Amino acid sequence: MRVVRIFQDEDVRYGLADDSMITLISDEPFAAWEAEGVVPLSQAQLLSPVIPTKIVCVGINYREHAREMGHKIPDEPVIFLKPPTAVNGPRGEIRIPDSMESVDYEGELAAVIGRRTHRVTAEAARAHVLGFLCANDVTARSLQKIDGQWTRAKGFDTFCPVGPWVETDVDPLDLKLETYVNGELRQSARTSDMIRNPYELVSFVSGIMTLLPGDLVLTGTPGGIGPMFRGDVVEVRIEGVGSLINSVV
């Protein structure tokens, strides 16, 4: 099942999509709902599938990325937050601040929380995850180097594209993840290369803060990060999940 959020008839609606059609539903996917008609997927204006109360990101969760950044493998997950206002949807524009020439892409798999999650084990976390989506942890690398921490560099509006939907029927433990810029392959890895898998990460985060329905846990980026410039088109493609495409302006 694919959970989508669309702009339809001057309103924002949730729906369930297959390869060609979207069945509109009466409420959020986390609540009780009823079917309320259908619209063609090809004609739908897809929005960010969820509106999170928080976006929890994990740094240095692929060994290759740790090496390219000059970091040691951490003893525990390294986490940081992006503000909910950074959320961007499919086909949305990534806006580079006027003072910068470029920002970096970081293609990632993100877990979407489906129910209140507090201090759960990695095994129990499976029942608390609604599904998975593609994400791009856009980063102003120059500011990250200046600040020595990551909030400003990763917190600008539009710096968290997610989508195109929440895929609820996929095993996240061994998926191909690729990032393309203008059709050129820049990142390629498998989620089995993660240091800690998505359920372990959800468990870890839930021991620190309560996760709520719609919250996102971004599971880290593999090696191959690099710059995007104005006029570029970036695509994060994850096997069994979908393709997230955004333009850079």
Question: pLDDT per residue over 156-192, tens digit each?
Answer: 999 999 999 999 999 999 999 999 999 999 999 999 9
Q: Into how many domains does the chain fold?
A: 2
244 touches 233 (CB < 8 A): no
| Mean predicted confidence (pLDDT) in 106-132 | 98
Angle (nearest 5°) at CA 169 between 60 and 167: 65
First vs last Cα of the chain: how many Å apart?
A: 33
The predicted pLDDT at position 31 comes to: 84
Domain containing 14 — which CATH number?
Answer: 2.30.30.370
Residue 103 lies in a domain: yes
Residue 68 pLDDT greater than 90, yes or no: no
> Range of 154's domain?
55-248
Of residues 20 and 32, more confidently modeled: 20
Tokens at 38, concatenated: 């259908």
151 touches 80 (CB < 8 A): yes
| Least confident residue range of 56-65, 104-113, 156-165 | 56-65
Residue 152 lies in a domain: yes
The predicted pLDDT at position 66 comes to: 74
Q: Is the dihedral of CA 230, 179, 89, 218 positive or negative?
A: negative
Residue 50 lies in a domain: no
| Mean predicted confidence (pLDDT) in 14-37 | 92
Let me know whether 40 and 63 are in one domain: no
The predicted pLDDT at position 32 comes to: 84
The predicted pLDDT at position 9 comes to: 84
> Given phi > 0 = left and psi -120 to 50 = alpha, else beta, which region is 37?
left
Let me know whether 120 and 30 are in one domain: no
Let me know whether 131 and 205 are in one domain: yes
Model confidence pLDDT, tens digit, residues 71-102: 788 899 999 999 999 999 999 999 999 999 99
The predicted pLDDT at position 50 comes to: 96
The predicted pLDDT at position 187 comes to: 97
Residue type, 41: L
Let me know whether 104 and 192 are in one domain: yes
Q: Is the dihedral of CA 228, 230, 231, 234 positive or negative?
A: positive
d(CA 9, CA 37): 13
The predicted pLDDT at position 82 comes to: 98
Let me know whether 15 and 104 are in one domain: no
Residue type, 203: S
The predicted pLDDT at position 3 comes to: 96
pTM, two decimals, is: 0.95
Let me know whether 64 and 40 are in one domain: no
| Mean predicted confidence (pLDDT) in 136-147 | 94
Residue 80 lies in a domain: yes
Q: What is the dihedral of CA 54, 140, 193, 60, to 10 degrees?
A: -80
| Mean model confidence pLDDT for the chain | 95
Let me know whether 41 and 67 are in one domain: no
